Amino acid sequence: MGVERTLVLLKPDAVARGLVGRITTRFEDAALKIVGVKMAHLDADFTRKHYFDLEERLGAEVYNTTAKFMQSGPVIALVLQGVDAVAKVRQVIGVTYPNLATPGTVRGDFAHQTKASSEASGKAVMNLVHASGNSDEANYEVDLWFGEGELFEYETLVEKFAY
């Protein structure tokens, strides 16, 4: 591919547990550049826009549980840029269910909930991070979360020496 941008949300559990710096460091260590950042509380309308197809794909119960969790506290939105950024971010964070995530990934190291425990408790899977699943989704999410003038261009040392 090439250089691309993607959206990452540090979910309410990441913020509440004080893992923002440690997670962000993982992305920077992977040569991903932060070009946009903001903290926000999601309201019902914005949550619906962000998860516009979740109910259709996985049902009302999954959507409602996810929406309630995402509105339970502040999130931090990051736009990351780099070579194959979408795939690289997904590699750094690990698979959706923390108990299946490889050690060394964000979810494998810091999240511990299983799908079964989530279903039994009726709570969303607290897996710390949302990341765009593909380039089209990334473009939609970056445009939804960040307006003109909120994304920045600059050169990092990694870009200067590695690209």
Task: Note whether residue 115 is domain-resident.
Answer: yes
Residue 46 lies in a domain: yes
Is 16 within a domain?
Answer: yes
What separation in angstroms does the CA of 121 have from each of 67, 72, 112? 16, 16, 14
Residues with catalytic function: 130
80 and 89 Cβ atoms separated by less than 8 Å = yes
Q: Tell me 31's DSSP state.
A: T
pLDDT tens per residue, range 101-160: 999 999 999 988 888 888 888 888 899 999 999 999 999 999 999 998 999 999 999 888
Which domain range does residue 29 map to?
A: 3-146
Per-residue pLDDT reduced to its tens digit, 64-98 = 999 999 999 999 999 999 999 999 999 999 999 99
- Residue 55 clears pLDDT 80, i.e. is over it: yes
The confidence band for 1, taking pLDDT boundaries of 50, 70 and 90, is low
Is 163 part of any domain? no
Length of the chain: 163
Provide the number of structural domains found in the chain: 1
Residue 14 sits in a domain whose CATH number is 3.30.70.141
Q: Among all chains, which residue has been given the structure tokens 């445009």? A: 143
Residue 158 lies in a domain: no
Asked whether residue 50 is assigned to any structural domain, the reply reads yes
Residue 84, phi then psi, degrees to nearest 5: 50, 45
